[in-house]
Chain A
Amino acid sequence: MGRHLNRGGPTVLLAATAMALAGCSAASGSEEPATASSSATVDAPYASTYEAYPGVPTAIVGATIYDGTGGRIENGVVLFSGGEVVGIGGADLAIPADYTRVDGTGRFVTPGIIDIHSHLGDYPTPSVDAHSDGNEATSPTTPEVWAEHSVWPQDPGFSRALANGGITSLQILPGSANLMGGRSVTLKNVPSRTVQGMKFPGAPYSMKMACGENPKRVYGGRGRAPSTRMGNFAVNRETWIKAQEYAAEEEPDRDLAMETLAGVLNGEIMIQNHCYRADEMALVMSMADEFGYQVTAFHHAVESYKIADLLRDNDVCSAVWADWYGFKMEAYDAIPENAAMIHNQGACVVIHSDDENGIQRLNQEAAKAQADGRRMGIEIADADVISWITLNAARAMGIADMTGSLEAGKMADVVLWNGDPLSVYSRPEIVWIDGAMMYDMNDPAMRPVSDFELGQPGEGDVK
């Protein structure tokens, strides 16, 4: 740690993310590769302590499989062992003798569902003021804050997302009060005493940004910048200029905010940008060009359908709801066909929740968005729709090499559904995370209960 402190923030960052991007040359910017590769978890502050829970070699047999990459197998077999997917195939796939067989007849298998936009833990339930830890709304730019320092692992919402939504990984973002809200944290959806025990090992950081109404309302309401959309951009641009200067320094002093921004400019930290309106998204992409960074995904991008071609050409994902609309001015042009129309232009779609209830039904939201597309003549295969809540989310979170699809060598994050996950009548039956069974609908003992709920009315209920 000490050596890195001398060299300033960006190097610390590189160490933290080198493991995440293993094999990716972008991470080799570290000039001390031995340190970066061998002691990343030591050097990365607040490092993940998560280790997979024990599992048994498992074969799910006879289910319909959506593999997350757009593949569909009827009467298929999924094999996993040692926390990893070992194989996936049809009924003829050989099943080693020591594998425990799970009957998938009449059931469906998907990769673990991934929510790219959650505030579980940093806006936990009960939603009392004392728990309001998602917006450091004291300055319009707070790249220095890290969402993980707000996450309360006892948020009962994690268990609901697991049991009802099949969520195995999720990104916790700071709120959208600020133009630059701080760093996100990606979690494995496992109960834990500490947030470190949930952190997704090797997941890169993202920084949350927000355009539009929220920052200008929060700060304009206090008589300070930004109070307009042009003010939003001015504050952003001035901040990026400072970040460029910082990134260019040989041995900069430590500056938490600048370390995050320099990490973005270096390509180590991804950008998750809350942005509703098409015209603003286009301006943000130009701002990214101006300063040399890439927007990974626009979140709540209700008007992406108006510029889906532009988003495709700029390789920016749209993380969207199925049909939220009208609750604020910049959501007035939201339409339920948004996701399908983005997909139809060849741009990347992710269905997100931003909601402790919606995260329990991302499968249903994706299904609605698919159906709304179908009614306007856009046919999207079920297996592709599943990728909206699995592999596409993983890509936009920088973890697609580890999870998001059922491919040999990937983490065995798996959901067995008791029916077609695109039907309102289906629920997760069993959820495995890294090959460990973490939820079983048929076994009340396999339903996590947060500390908060112990001894309370309804403790351990099906919820």
Chain B
Amino acid sequence: MNRLLALAASVAALATTPAMAQDIAITGATIATGDGSDPVENATVVVRGGRVVAAGSGVAVPAGVPALDGSGLWVTPGLFASITNLGLVDVDAVADSNDVNASDSPFGAALDVSPVINPKAQDFAYSRAGGVTRASVTPGAGASIFAGQGAIVDLGADYDAVRHPRAFQYVEMGERGAWLAGGSRTSAHALLRNALLEAGSFGDAAQLTGGSRTRGNQPGETIGLDSRFAPGADRSSDVLLTRFDAAALVPVVNGEQKLYIEVERASDILSALTLKDEFPQLDMVLVGATEGWLVADRIAAAGVPVIASALRDLPVSFEQLAATQSNVGRMVDAGVTVAIGGYDSSGDHPRGLPQMAGNMVALNRVPGATGLTWGEAFAAITSVPAAVAGLEGRVAVLAEGAHGDLVVWDGDPLETSSAPIRVYIDGVEQPLTNHQTRLRDRYRSLDESELPRAYEH
């Protein structure tokens, strides 16, 4: 019926060698740009030189760009998965393979995931096959309320995954933060403030006054300087942070590095927001915010974006008593920028993001519930999380100049029955095979009359 399906078999071959960005045009597809708008039928998307040129109806295919027939299919930007462990873990419960939590580390804020991300971890390939093309990767808080510095990655089948190292600092401030801080939220708050003050003093002494983290703001090229290696400065003896941790927090205090704060309870959210009064430069993002709907107006007024789990609806802890699936919709309605992200159970996975978003749409037909429109829901797993990560308009949206990450789906991407059939990152078509697909193919037949299944590969 269409060339897209017919050509699918050639993808694996492409991926084994470093591939050049292709010029791509897909016509006649239902296209969702990820910007919050509704999907457009019979539309065209054009990618050249790894960048989106145009997407929508009435878009002409430039001469020389091969056009693929996308009729019956959907085309979207790649999904942006927030707050993942991608590349930090092979198997969660196999400690040797798990670099998420550094529970016995002498460091906290100084921890940096960027040199340890392994793009060959199966989760990369598995998530890519689910349409995830960009993600934030965060350490978990192990020995300190400061989990350390997260990175932004692309999920291309190569070793060049880290696009933005040290993109944010992550701090735990709820029940877990209280536990890590020594048993009380009071200690977590004292530790956080002390750390920011120490970092500020250190930054002043070291004359780290700004502009230190990033050089060159071209999309995809913001390889930040590492504040930890800034010129040394004398410090007073009355310090809690190691020099490395203090240095790592300097860009946070200066507002050059985002501070992700995990809080769930409404009162904890408000306490977190007041940090901006004390440290005006903070560029905060709230993570969790399960009770955010109770104080949505205040979050909106503070202009602080949120990364929230979509489907929490149980009082899992005393900081989540008001949990409801309507949390995201109510915050969005109040004017909060909300990305869907976060993974609660063993079954939650970046490639489950479309299902989470789809459930937000389902809420629109539940009286009393607040959901999202289809466009809002899809934006909450594409352009919005990209914007929260500081990449607005640059990734996870089909807008002119954005990275050419495309996913071709066999149906409505939010529907349980749909899946990607092609994935492009920066205009390069990606393999969709992985350990799981190989097992599927091996055990398609159980016939061992000639040889064991081990010879099927």
Q: Which residues from chain A sit less than 8 Å from chain B, CB to CB? A: 125-128, 156-157, 160, 164, 213, 305-309, 321, 323-329, 331-337, 341, 345, 355-358, 360-361, 364, 367-368, 370-372, 374-376, 418-419, 422-427, 441-442, 444, 452-453, 456-458, 461-463
Is the CB of B122 closer than 8 A to any CB of chain A? yes
Is the CB of B275 closer than 8 A to any CB of chain A? no
Is the CB of B291 closer than 8 A to any CB of chain A? yes
List B354-410 residues whose CB lies under 8 Å from chain A.
355, 358-359, 361-363, 365-369, 410
Known: A367-B417, A425-B362, A427-B366. A328 touches B321 (CB 8 A): no
Contact status B358-A358, CB under 8 Å = no
Is the CB of B316 closer than 8 A to any CB of chain A? yes
Contact status B369-A424, CB under 8 Å = no
0 or 1 for each of B337-369: is its CB under 8 Å from A? (1 = yes)? 000000011110100100100110111011111
Complex A-B, nearest 4 residue pairs according to Cβ-Cβ distance, in ascending order: A458-B322, A424-B358, A457-B322, A328-B93
Known: A160-B313, A332-B91. A425 touches B324 (CB 8 A): no
Separation of A183 and B148 alpha carbons in the complex (Å): 44
- 17 pairs across A/B with beta carbons < 8 Å? A126-B320, A164-B313, A326-B126, A328-B92, A329-B93, A331-B91, A355-B345, A358-B345, A368-B416, A371-B416, A376-B440, A423-B416, A424-B414, A427-B365, A453-B315, A458-B291, A458-B323
Separation of A308 and B358 alpha carbons in the complex (Å): 32
- Complex interface: chain B residues within 8 A of A376 (CB): 440, 444
Is the CB of B14 closer than 8 A to any CB of chain A? no
Q: Which residue of A lies closest to B129 (CB)?
A: A336
0 or 1 for each of B107-147: is its CB under 8 Å from A? (1 = yes)? 00000000000000011001000000000000000000000
What is the minimal beta-carbon distance from B441 to any residue of chain A, in angstroms? 8
Is the CB of B326 closer than 8 A to any CB of chain A? yes
Contact status A327-B294, CB under 8 Å = no
Separation of A418 and B361 alpha carbons in the complex (Å): 13
Separation of A441 and B418 alpha carbons in the complex (Å): 27
Known: A364-B416, A424-B359. A441 touches B321 (CB 8 A): no
Q: Which residue of B lies closest to A425 (CB)?
A: B362
Known: A324-B346, A355-B347, A456-B322. A422 touches B122 (CB 8 A): no
Contact status B92-A126, CB under 8 Å = no
Q: Which residue of A lies closest to B346 (CB)?
A: A327
Contact status B415-A423, CB under 8 Å = yes
Contact status B418-A308, CB under 8 Å = no
What is the minimal beta-carbon distance from B118 to any residue of chain A, in angstroms? 14
Q: Which residue of B lies closest to A155 (CB)?
A: B314
- Interface centre among A331, A364, A463, by most chain B C-beta atoms within 10 angstroms, is A463
Contact status B443-A127, CB under 8 Å = no
- Complex interface: chain B residues within 8 A of A341 (CB): 440, 443-444
Contact status B417-A371, CB under 8 Å = yes
Separation of A119 and B284 alpha carbons in the complex (Å): 37
Known: A128-B317, A335-B439. A424 touches B355 (CB 8 A): yes
Separation of A364 and B352 alpha carbons in the complex (Å): 11
Partner of B317, one of A126, A327, A418, A461: A126
Separation of A305 and B366 alpha carbons in the complex (Å): 37
Q: Which residue of A lies closest to B444 (CB)?
A: A376
Contact status A327-B358, CB under 8 Å = no
Contact status B358-A125, CB under 8 Å = no
- Complex interface: chain A residues within 8 A of B294 (CB): 457-458
What is the minimal beta-carbon distance from A368 to any residue of chain B, in angstroms? 5
Q: Which residue of B lies closest to A440 (CB)?
A: B367
Partner of B314, one of A156, A426, A442: A156
Q: Which residue of A lies closest to B415 (CB)?
A: A424
What is the minimal beta-carbon distance from B32 to any residue of chain A, in angstroms? 15
Contact status A457-B291, CB under 8 Å = yes
Separation of A334 and B346 alpha carbons in the complex (Å): 13
What is the minimal beta-carbon distance from B362 to any residue of chain A, in angstroms? 5
Is the CB of B436 closer than 8 A to any CB of chain A? yes
Is the CB of B247 closer than 8 A to any CB of chain A? no
Separation of A419 and B366 alpha carbons in the complex (Å): 12
Contact status A452-B315, CB under 8 Å = yes
Q: Is the interface of B mostly helix, strand, loop or mixed?
A: loop
Contact status B315-A328, CB under 8 Å = no
List B408-457 residues whose CB lies under 8 Å from chain A.
410, 414-419, 435-437, 439-440, 443-444, 446, 453
- Complex interface: chain B residues within 8 A of A127 (CB): 316-317
Contact status A441-B366, CB under 8 Å = yes
Known: A333-B439, A357-B344. A126 touches B361 (CB 8 A): no
Q: Is the interface of A mostly helix, strand, loop or mixed?
A: loop
List the count of A-B residue pairs having beta carbons below 8 Å apart.
Answer: 169
Separation of A418 and B291 alpha carbons in the complex (Å): 28
A-B contacts besides A324-B346, A368-B417, 11 pairs, CB < 8 Å: A306-B446, A321-B347, A323-B347, A325-B126, A327-B92, A331-B91, A418-B365, A424-B414, A424-B415, A453-B315, A458-B322
Known: A345-B446, A357-B345. A125 touches B436 (CB 8 A): no
Contact status B322-A326, CB under 8 Å = no
What is the minimal beta-carbon distance from A369 to any residue of chain B, in angstroms? 9
Separation of A207 and B98 alpha carbons in the complex (Å): 34
- Interface centre among A156, A213, A424, by most chain B C-beta atoms within 10 angstroms, is A424
Contact status B355-A368, CB under 8 Å = yes
Separation of A422 and B410 alpha carbons in the complex (Å): 17
- Complex interface: chain A residues within 8 A of B368 (CB): 444, 461-462
Known: A357-B314, A358-B345. A370 touches B91 (CB 8 A): no
Is the CB of B301 closer than 8 A to any CB of chain A? no
Is the CB of B299 closer than 8 A to any CB of chain A? no
- Complex interface: chain B residues within 8 A of A442 (CB): 367
What is the minimal beta-carbon distance from B49 to any residue of chain A, in angstroms? 32
Partner of A364, one of B326, B345, B355, B453: B355
Is the CB of B266 closer than 8 A to any CB of chain A? yes
Contact status B325-A424, CB under 8 Å = no
What is the minimal beta-carbon distance from B294 to any residue of chain A, in angstroms? 6
Is the CB of B311 closer than 8 A to any CB of chain A? yes
Q: Which residue of B lies closest to A444 (CB)?
A: B368
Partner of B440, one of A309, A335, A357: A335
Separation of A181 and B441 alpha carbons in the complex (Å): 36
List B30-78 residues whose CB lies under 8 Å from chain A.
none
- Interface centre among B94, B363, B416, B453, by most chain A C-beta atoms within 10 angstroms, is B416
Contact status B416-A422, CB under 8 Å = yes
Contact status A463-B325, CB under 8 Å = yes
Contact status A356-B314, CB under 8 Å = yes
What is the minimal beta-carbon distance from B201 to any residue of chain A, in angstroms? 39
Separation of A140 and B53 alpha carbons in the complex (Å): 63
- Complex interface: chain A residues within 8 A of B229 (CB): none
- Complex interface: chain A residues within 8 A of B323 (CB): 458, 463
Q: Which residue of B lies closest to A326 (CB)?
A: B91
What is the minimal beta-carbon distance from A3 to any residue of chain B, in angstroms? 45
Contact status B316-A326, CB under 8 Å = no
- Complex interface: chain A residues within 8 A of B362 (CB): 424-427
- Complex interface: chain B residues within 8 A of A426 (CB): 362
Q: Which residue of A lies closest to B441 (CB)?
A: A376
Known: A371-B419, A427-B362. A125 touches B414 (CB 8 A): no
What is the minimal beta-carbon distance from B124 to any residue of chain A, in angstroms? 12
Separation of A361 and B344 alpha carbons in the complex (Å): 15
- Complex interface: chain B residues within 8 A of A371 (CB): 416-419
Separation of A358 and B183 alpha carbons in the complex (Å): 31
What is the minimal beta-carbon distance from A269 to any residue of chain B, in angstroms? 28
Contact status B436-A156, CB under 8 Å = no
Contact status B417-A157, CB under 8 Å = no
- Complex interface: chain A residues within 8 A of B367 (CB): 441-442, 462
Separation of A326 and B416 alpha carbons in the complex (Å): 21
Known: A336-B436, A364-B416, A424-B362. A326 touches B123 (CB 8 A): yes
- Complex interface: chain B residues within 8 A of A327 (CB): 91-93, 346
